[in-house]
Amino acid sequence: MNDDFKFLKLDDVPGPTKEEVRCLVVCKSGVSNDDVVLEIGCGTGGLTSEFAKRAKKVYSIDKNPKAISLTSKNLKLQKLDKKVELIPGDALDVIDKIPKFDILMVGGSSGDLSQILKNGFSNLNENGRIIITAILLETRVDAIKSLQKLGLSPYIVDVSISRGKIIERGTMMYAQNPVAIIYAFKGK
């Protein structure tokens, strides 16, 4: 797992998803080198690079051109760019052009989560998995309801990480924003 500080960052591009959360996303996705991954919202490329290390192929969409170019730089730095096809555009406009995939990872949806999941579901292979990371409360609820509408049984974990920093008098814990990981398995 890459350290957060290894990524190039920009003020107006979110990410990378924090290392400990990336660990859980990768673990819950069960990604292997047989899998094709479609990621919506590459941001800084934090999750893109973790999937690229482990999957057969990754397609990653972002509507922000700065996120596409930042992710491209981060992938090149890690020599992972060959495995990833970066696709600029809004997910709703381009998702139907992606061939079949095994994992649908949604890290950004701008309020269109339900439609993104519906469109993505039809190209998700039979053993497919869907993973959504949510910062907003509303996205958590939207994710659960949308997955249920597709006939799936969603799981949700809410992750609150605190990192310790050694100071003179002891160890101070710094809390990170809680993030929810909502996931479901097709065919289960």
Q: How far is the C-alpha of 120 from the C-alpha of 101, rounded, in Å?
A: 9
> Distance (Å, rounded) from C-alpha 45 to C-alpha 158?
22
Decide: is 64 part of the binding site for ligand SAH (CB under 6 A): yes
Q: Report if residue 16 touches ligand SAH, rule: CB under 6 A.
A: yes
In the bound state with ligand SAH, the residue whose beta carbon lies nearer, of 82 and 93, is 93
Burial class (CB in 10 A: 0-12, 13-18, 19+), 170: exposed
Among 28, 53, 63, 73, binds ligand SAH (CB under 6 A): 63
Going from the C-alpha of 113 to that of each of 2, 51, 131, 173, 175, the distances in angstroms are: 28, 21, 12, 34, 27
C-alpha torsion 62→63→68→74, nearest 10: -50
Determine if 120 is a binding residue for ligand SAH (CB under 6 A): no
What x/- string results for residues 30 through 59 when contact with ligand SAH is judged by CB under 6 A? Answer: ----------xx-xxxxx------------
Task: For residue 20, state whether it binds ligand SAH (rule: CB under 6 A).
Answer: no
Q: How far is the CB of 43 from ligand SAH (least distance, A)?
A: 3
Q: Are 179 and 134 in contact (CB under 8 A)?
A: yes
Residue number, 53 or 127, with CB nearest to ligand SAH:
53
Binding status of residue 139 toward ligand SAH by CB under 6 A: no
Sequence-ordered strand ranges (E) for 65-116: 84-88, 101-106
Query: Contact with ligand SAH (CB under 6 A): which of 24, 58, 61, 124?
Result: 61
**Residues from 65 through 94 that contact ligand SAH (CB under 6 A):** 67, 90-91
Q: How far is the CB of 14 from ligand SAH (least distance, A)?
A: 4
SS3 162: strand
